[in-house]
Structure 1
């Protein structure tokens, strides 16, 4: 069969499947466009890469990305571990065993040590709240890997991925008790993927502890997360590399930090008034927290993601957008340090403004300070865990002075 005929058959099969999926999901996600459909050609066979991503991968191959000891930047921010960390290890492993059947994946996920991360994120939380946070955190890692890991049908097919997002969102909306039109599920655990079973545990706790406004805020952040995961996935499938500004916009959603921030008041067992939650300083605090976390996540996961044929990462994106005459990874490092310091300054400005809004009320001020402190815990937890976790393998790149040399 000729290549032209094969391509025609592939297109016909995709159109048939698109029509079928449109009957199942009549309200497609915003990025559903025919021009996003990708027909692989011979050049994309190398590690699943194509287009700009393929060229970029060859430019970065075996280059060394150097990072300073970033703990020097965050030296004044708190880091603390929850005393329930050992108990959390057993909980995380039991949750992973419930939803991951592939032995290789299960082993890798266990070695990631999510219990350590959760204990750093919520150092002062009590066990009932930790159970909710753990169910949610483990779920979102596994859910996201289904799209990003590059070894599933969903990760290689945009139509399947859109169905995955839509069915997941429908299930989340139902489990959070937000249905308004009497939508019926035969069983609470019905979902596109078995990992949604774990979200049932998180949603049950959130539903009992949060009011409708809090649950709607959480849902909308998850919806935005899934939309941006889809946009990121489309870029990956086409091999296109966005500008740094556009990438940061996409990644601010797809990194998945905002939904985690949305359940912070539950974890702290406080209820900040909407005048605080919807204020400009609070939105600024969220934004800068997310950006700092995405920077940390991207720089420490760059090696892993490139190995998985994903060039949608801040390090390759900044390298691609460098002036061709000055293009180097040292320039990328400088740009990351500068962006990180600017973002931290804006974080502190937002925190100061938020504190000013609460200064008239002793209890409100206490609750706001707890929220701000948690954002710092969230960031330092990401930093410490990323350096330790076998998920990224940074221990092998670490020097005695805390700096890193990462071979891409």
Structure 2
């Protein structure tokens, strides 16, 4: 499948649709329950859940796909574990949820994502990553008012975006003398889930330029809008085509804002002509696609258990032709999609290298950026297999393959 075939007009239509929903909220959607293992589901999602219930999704050892890519851990790995726990304790009051989030071991993920980063940058990146996991869970987990009401969810996204814009120092007049006071007032009135983003804003305002923060904000805005579109599909029990799913999920997976922090984390500043060129955009796109594929296949058991069928595995199964509708078909398609995306990544990396070959410093920085994207993917892969958040350790065989009971 090739996500490049999706028209920019389709994305514009999605954005306009979401903005209109914000102005003209839908009436309450009645729940139509079909007999299934998940009585909270409706529509196609209910039927699909019944079809998948108890089936086994088998995956090969996907490390073989990424065998040549680097994996390393940061020297501050143990310190990161304590930092993550303290951040979670600041914003999570539900003891059961706090315990589950601590078991996820986000500190390990930070260590794998940023093996070469120093502590000041790690503090900012960790605050952002913990924040976005908690923020996203508020909508996805199915156990909050926001996750079960489209109007509450839209209000949550809109308020969050206004807060993010302010804390990044992007509001009109943010460079004047009163800007610090306005930001301080915003910090004092934060929703608990947004408290960590104040740390992110402080770190980025002092260490990045406005263009970098604007790019980060645009990616966060796209993330939140995509989460809204995804949430609407989930609430209505709609299962899209695979291409449309990948388009929505590329935004809602939340990887692009993380990539937007890369030059800051590496202590480099690539020219805007490089940051905005075609090969760099292609590198981002394929990094996001590989991340979402890995995230979805390892989280599918958890998400289905939480009555969420908006996941690549169920979506691919739903869109199989009747004659080939098996989870083994999905397994083959997943591996083929990963390999196709990797080919696109390598082509983009090669093109970027050729573009800057006559400038030693920019070439060195570009190669560092590309290497970090590889760390990002292998970090997702390794952490997803280890983390108790997904429970893949119990599904794994000695040869590295997995049998995941849905």
Superimposed CA distance per residue, residues 131-179 of structure 1 (whole angstroms, 9 cap, x where no aligned partner): 0000000000000000000000000000000000000000000000000
**Shift, 1:203, TM fit:** 1.0
2:143 pairs, out of 143, 151, 159, with 151
CA contact (8 A) 1:31 1:230 kept: no
CA contact (8 A) 2:32 2:42 kept: no
Query: Are 1:303 and 2:294 an aligned pair?
Result: no
- Range moving further from structure 2, 174-183 or 94-103: 174-183
Q: How many residues end up aligned between the 2 structures?
A: 382
Task: Give distance in 2, aligned partners of 1:29 and 1:44.
Answer: 32
Residues 106-121 of structure 1 correspond to what in structure 2 (within 5 A)?
Answer: 106-121=98-113
Task: Give distance in 2, aligned partners of 1:118 and 1:50.
Answer: 37
Are residues 229 and 44 of structure 1, via their aligned partners in 2, closer, same or farther at CA, if it must alter by over 3 Å? farther
2:336 pairs, out of 338, 356, 360, with 338
Residues 4-403 of structure 1 correspond to what in structure 2 (within 5 A)?
Answer: 29=19, 31-32=21-22, 36-43=26-33, 46-180=38-172, 184=182, 187-189=185-187, 193-403=191-401
Task: Give distance in 2, aligned partners of 1:37 and 1:322.
Answer: 33
SS in 2 for 1:78: coil
Task: Give distance in 1, aligned partners of 2:332 and 2:73.
Answer: 31
Are residues 34 and 326 of structure 1, via their aligned partners in 2, closer, same or farther at CA, if it must alter by over 3 Å? farther
Query: What's the TM-score once normalised by structure 2's chain length?
Result: 0.91
Superimposed CA distance per residue, residues 75-131 of structure 1 (whole angstroms, 9 cap, x where no aligned partner): 000000001010001100000000000000000000000000000000000000000
**Shift, 1:325, TM fit:** 2.0
Task: Give distance in 2, aligned partners of 1:84 and 1:202.
Answer: 19
Task: Give distance in 2, aligned partners of 1:301 and 1:37.
Answer: 31
Are residues 123 and 185 of structure 1, via their aligned partners in 2, closer, same or farther at CA, if it must alter by over 3 Å? closer
Consecutive unaligned residues of structure 2, counting only runs of 5 or more, are: 1-16
> What is the alpha-carbon root mean square deviation over aligned residues?
1.7
CA contact (8 A) 2:32 2:43 kept: no
CA contact (8 A) 1:37 1:158 kept: no
Task: Give distance in 1, aligned partners of 2:187 and 2:21.
Answer: 28
Consecutive unaligned residues of structure 1, counting only runs of 5 or more, are: 1-26
SS in 2 for 1:315: helix
Are residues 32 and 364 of structure 1, via their aligned partners in 2, closer, same or farther at CA, if it must alter by over 3 Å? same
